[in-house]
A and B are shown apart, each in its own frame.
Chain A
Amino acid sequence: MRAGRPGAWALFRRNRLAVAGLAILAIVVAAALAAPILPLPDPDATMLDDRLLPPLSAGHLLGTDHLGRDMLARLLFGARLSLAVAVVATLLSAAIGSAIGLLAGYYAGWTDTLMMRGIDTLMAFPYMLLALAIVAVLGPGLMNALVAVGIVNIPFFARTVHGATVGQAGRPYVDAARLSGFSDVRILVVEVLPNVLPTIVVTIATTVGWMILETAGLSFLGLGAQPPQADLGSMLGEGRKLFIVAPHVAAVPGLAILLLVMGINLFADGVRDTLDPRLKSGALSRPAAVTETRLEKEADPGSSRLSEAILEVRHLRTWFFTGGSVVKAVDDVGFSVAPGECLGIVGESGSGKSVAALSILGLVQTPPGRIVGGSVRFRGQELIGAPLDTLQDLRGNRIAYVFQDPSTTLNPVFTVGEQVAETLRRHHGLSGGAAWRRTIDLLTTVDIPDPAERAGAYPHQLSGGQRQRVAIAMALANDPDVLIADEPTTALDVTTQARILDLLDRLRRERGLALVFITHDFGIVRDICDRVVVMRHGRVVETGAVEGVFVAPQHAYTRLLIEAVPRLGEAPA
């Protein structure tokens, strides 16, 4: 927990499972450390009259083994030994592995290649098989098992630390230290090591559990601790010989290992989540299938103002709830669009225009988004709070979306043809062959050359413009009534932009589509839209027919957006 990360402990404490792990670990470690001073029988005292007593016998809480030795005493002393061996083995491989990783990552070049190839070769062995080979030549014994397990785990540390070091070695502070004439050793130890330390700590935490299982395994096979010395593994190994007659002799040490390793693993997960901000608890929450709706009051059932509107949004509020704070991304927004009409929604990024559009079919990510008020009506049907089934039947069918960046909005592992065809199969129940033929027609409509062949291509094999054409084909597949295009040309180069806009405009006119066009570019709105809504900070600041707004903007912000449009023959402001 290095400085500059205040609250590491607080962060860790929030993770209840990790705290439970730490508690288990603390109890086991405390009991193991205190074993010599606890009022326990001598773990090696044999009492042949009291052999194989079951657990809960008088004087022997966990019973006795085949020589009448007290299981509880043996267990605590065994845990002591197992822990000691695992910790030493972990530190051994952490020290050697980290040193290799640091040196290779820092010096790069030949040193790097040579060292990491060696590590790769060690990793080419099935895990533990190398440990067996090492014990085979060194001979059985706890020290030899420790060495073997330590060596086998070196590659994990070397690899992880290497990765972290390479990430640090290129940083300006390292160059600065070099230019200041510091020695390599000093730079490595004083500058690089502290930055790599969290990685090492996390790897140690996640490795100790494995180490306990591995040394226990070797002892179980009779290759680790030798009698009278006993760790948890060798106790289990002895118990195995008579486990049918007296199962507790094997069951108890095994349970102890399970408990100990589970505690360590829980604790290690907590340490990892604390030190790795990316995995901070909650950061990996799955977005739900539909935006959560929790209306603060019933939606106003008032009649629609524009009878010709096919889609009407009124008083929409979509807020983001993160931690304790609320961001009112969309706050009382309304607009409507009629068949064959193009409505532009303009605003800079963060104005709430995309969130408003996504709210229509509940596509805002929950968490953190939540629709807290308003009404969305499609052909008079209320969509806010509508069942998921209803929304899914409309999505991609009557109301379709085209998103901004076609390099991330198409699924990389399916062919583009399949991605168009599946939406046909979903909404029209078309068979595979019919859907595929219709897909090729659609790709032809959006001017993809050689559509039959391109349909079998994966997204990364197409150009950005072609990918966006595919996305448009996907949106048009079911002849929707409303097409919502969210900055569909922003990620494309200028010539491609113009072509995609022409295509959208043509399709709107041919098919009588209601087009909702979201952009930050007033120029595009002027070219293709009939009416415009200007949004800022989650609110509508101005709305009206495009010519009117363009000629006489009422709001200062609208004027600003219009002035940002480059005009022919004028230098950009």
Chain B
Amino acid sequence: MNRLPDEYILPIADIFQNIVNWLVDEWRPVFQTLRWPIAQVLDAVSDLMNSLPFWLVILFFLIVGWRTAGIRNGVFCGVSFVLIAFMGLWDEAMDSLSILITAVTFCVVVGVPIGILAGRSNKFWAVLRPVLDVMQTTPSFVYLVPVVMLFGIGTVPGVIATIVFSMPPVIRLTNLGLRQVPAEAIEAGESFGATEWQALINIRLPLALPSIMTGVNQTLLMAMVMSVIISMIGAEGLGLSVLRGIGALDVGQAGIGGLAIVLLAISLDRITQGLGEKSKQAHHELKPRSLLGRFRAARTGASDSPASMQ
């Protein structure tokens, strides 16, 4: 075996152990405090999702999918949720959805401001960038160890792991979006006497929105991946049914769990992608478009393309 003698092995494992032990001993109140808001939001979302009748949820996703990503995606979302219901995985799917909604909400609430700071300050970005690199290259399993040590096991620590794992894309793409705002738009704002804040609200953020929405989409997909893995630390949801299926060598249960995850992931991906597209196209068409107008446009195939208005 090509292995150094034991006396040459550096005690890095011990160092990690000591650091985590020290964190657990000394910083426990801090981590418990961090846990609190996440637990609150998760409970609220989860209560809501589980109290809604399933036909209402299906109708909701059908309409949201249709309005954001077109009628075909709307139907796809609706059918997906119907399938999930008929596979007997409704409760697990709602648990997964609650985890995702909570995790993505926190990622956006924390990640977008961090991305804005990064986009406005080269120094901050220089510090942040290697951190994000490490976060994104760290395998998802590895997150579980410190999370279990610091927060324990269960759904809430799972959500925390998901948040940490899936935050980098929204930070990166917010930063990118802000840096790609055309210089002349910024200059125009400046020349009309915009304050830094006014420029952010009126110019930078709206113009960076398509990029930010792409970031939210990517973050959601990362969270989707993680929400399955966190079943190993006892988080509820579709991942748990896959894990149980594997554990019991029950290919059928693992299979439908996997299928439900895929359906859920594609539905949410389409919806968030649709939102991103919308933010890109918002200014290409006449804004207030009635429901009837949409139908009419779809039927005649007429569109408000810029060229036809010259």
Query: Bound pair: A and B?
Result: no
